[in-house]
Amino acid sequence: MIALTPTEVAAITGGELGGPVASNDPLTSVVIDSRAATAGALFVALPGEHVDGHDYLEAAAAGGAGAAIVSRDVPGAPLPYVRVADTAAALADLAREVLARLRATGQVVVVGITGSVGKTTTKDLLSVLLAPLGNLVAPVASFNNEIGLPLTVLRADHDTRVLVLEMGADAPGNLTFLTSIAAPDVAVELIVGHAHLGGFGSIEGVATAKAELVQGLAPGGIAVLNADDVRVASMATLAERVLTFGRSENADVRAAEVATGTDGHAELTLVAEQGQARLRLGLAGDHHITNALAAATVALHLGRPLDEIATTLAAAAPLSPHRMHLTDRADGIRVIDDAYNANPTSMRAALVALAAMASDRRSVAVVGEMLELGPESAHEHAEIGRCAQELGIDEVVVVGREARPLLEAVLDAGGSATYADDLEGAERLLTTLLEPGDVVLVKGSNGTGLYRLAEALAAATSPVGAP
């Protein structure tokens, strides 16, 4: 972060200084976890469901924090503070001002990424593709909301040349707010899918909300759109400058001659105005072609050579956990850990990848609940069950009550499926179900905790719980 004094923080946020205000030393970082506080940190005391940051001012001060942002007076505070009405809003104000200062004096390029699936993987790919352009800042994990995005922006300083931002949304207006903090110079739209339907109401509602990213472009900015998704492609009318990517013949950057082997890795010819290159993606799963093309389009736009882009995509490995991580165990079982999160779009993609990788081996899908689907939940889960049957998945293990319609759809179609109420039940089922040579996918919404089961499966040398 660029250095700011507590007095400047108060001016930016419209807050009032309090506590032992004699110190006005520069602050050089922002944290929301007192355990991360170091010398010169600004600690933002956020209220939460289970903990309140105001209770951790002593810990932040002990770690070296130079000041705090609070939303109430703190008698006997151990460090200077800025009192505001809303600490989360103040965090956003700080990020907005810091980025404005960087844009006024530096050469920072802001790349914003949204989509129902693929944001984090595309961010990870861009992190390596754009690194040669200079100092790059990208989100830790999936920091893509009203707290995570400002924290990412505030890591930028005068040396930063590229700022890559994930922008997530679970309700209308989310992206408008995020782009008010960091209007992108490059807006990447991946896929409009069936995610967060409880907040958006319909797929059309998702599309309208995702379009907020393009509408929030900085002056002179460019939209990078998926030509294979009709809802994304239609956003071209919202931007003055557009680049497209996809498998479509009319895409500016496209994948041609695609072939996916039983190892799950796609081979393709990357075709663009700058030329073409044949490569094998380092990431497993046919659906990663979309993410790779999006990242390649941005990299080409920012001047990276096509041959170097192809080489980087071929060498890329998963950087974020629980996203198509493959583990080949000593007993011949292959574990596909894609358990970070799930919605109908990403679940279908994962099942397609499982079917391709299994080939002549037995396929086992361990699927958990897809959360935040609202009234469409039962229908969407049932559709995934039918998808599993159409793909020929041999065994389906369904975890969690909300996913029961998935189980019923598999059984109604004549497939083989079992049910577990929770992770422990699923673990017991897998003890006897899995056999050497199986290919097993684990996927569910993050809130289900299914990633813990995936970790256990990947670490085991024999079926979970077996002697």
DSSP state string for 95-132: HHHHHHHHHHHS--EEEEEE-SS-HHHHHHHHHHHSGG
How far is 337 from 355, CA to CA, in rounded Å? Answer: 15
Tokens of 462: 């024999």
Q: Does the pLDDT value for residue 150 go beyond 80?
A: yes
Instruction: Say how far apart CA 230 and CA 240 lie, in whole Å.
Output: 18
* Per-residue pLDDT tens digits for 58-106: 999 999 999 999 999 889 999 999 999 999 999 999 999 999 999 998 8
**285 touches 353 (CB < 8 A):** yes
Q: What is the DSSP letter of 182?
A: S
CATH number of 6-86: 3.40.1390.10
DSSP-derived pairing of the beta strands 186-189 and 81-83: unpaired
User: Domain ranges in the chain?
Assistant: 6-86, 106-315, 325-459
Mean pLDDT calculated for residue range 272-288:
94
Query: Which of helix, strand or coil describes residue 314?
Result: helix
Rounded CA-CA distance 321/141 in Å is: 8
Q: Which of 365, 372, 385, 371 is nearest to 448 (CA)?
A: 371
Rounded distance between C-alpha atoms, residue 38 and residue 31, angstroms = 9
Q: What is the mean pLDDT of residues 30-43?
A: 97
CB 322 within 8 A of CB 141: no
Length, in residues, of the chain: 467
Q: Please, which residues bridge with residue 265 across strands? A: 284
Collapsing DSSP states into helix, strand and coil, what is residue 153?
A: helix
From residue 467, alpha-carbon distances to 209, 426, 428, 460 in Å are 51, 17, 13, 11
Segment 232-240 mean pLDDT: 97
466 pLDDT higher than 60: no
Edge-first strand order for the sheet with 275-284 is 135-137, 160-166, 109-114, 186-189, 222-226, 242-246, 253-260, 265-272, 275-284
Q: Where are the alpha helices (DSSP H) in 144-246?
A: 148-153, 174-181, 197-200, 203-215, 230-233
Over residues 393-437, the pLDDT tens digits come to 999 999 999 999 999 999 999 999 999 999 999 999 999 999 999
Q: Alpha-carbon torsion 459, 462, 464, 467, what sign?
A: negative
For the chain, percent of residues with pLDDT exceeding 70: 97
CATH code of 106-315, in short, is: 3.40.1190.10
- Tokens representing 86? 């809303």
Lowest-confidence segment of 119-128, 137-146, 249-258 by average pLDDT: 137-146
Q: What is the mean pLDDT of residues 266-281?
A: 97
Higher-confidence residue of 239 and 286: namely: 239
pLDDT band at residue 360 using 50, 70 and 90 as cut-offs: confident
- Higher pLDDT among residues 309 and 23, named by residue: 309
DSSP for 327-379, please give it. EE-TTS-EEEE--S---HHHHHHHHHHHHHHHTTS-EEEEEE---S-GGGHHH
Among 247, 226, 254, 215, which Cα is nearest to 116's? 226
Q: Is the pLDDT of residue 53 over 70?
A: yes
Question: Span 342-360, mean pLDDT?
Answer: 91
The angle that helices 6-13 and 87-105 make with each other, rounded to 10 degrees, is 100
Average pLDDT over every residue of 166-195:
92
pLDDT of residue 465: 47
Contact 207, 178 (CB under 8 A): no
pLDDT beyond 90 at 308: yes
Instruction: Assess contact for 28 and 155: CB atoms under 8 A.
Output: no
pLDDT band at residue 467 using 50, 70 and 90 as cut-offs: very low
Q: Are 283 and 349 in contact (CB under 8 A)?
A: no
User: Looking at the predicted structure, is the pLDDT value of residue 190 above 60?
Assistant: yes
Distance of CA 22 to the CA centre of its chain: 42
Q: pLDDT averaged over the chain?
A: 93
Say which residue the tokens 């530096």 belong to: 106
Query: Which of the listed CATH numbers 3.90.190.20, 3.30.230.70, 3.30.420.40, 3.30.720.110 matches domain 325-459?
Result: 3.90.190.20
Question: Mind listing the pLDDT tens digit for each residue in 422-434?
Answer: 999 999 999 999 9
Separation CA 467–CA 441 (nearest Å): 22
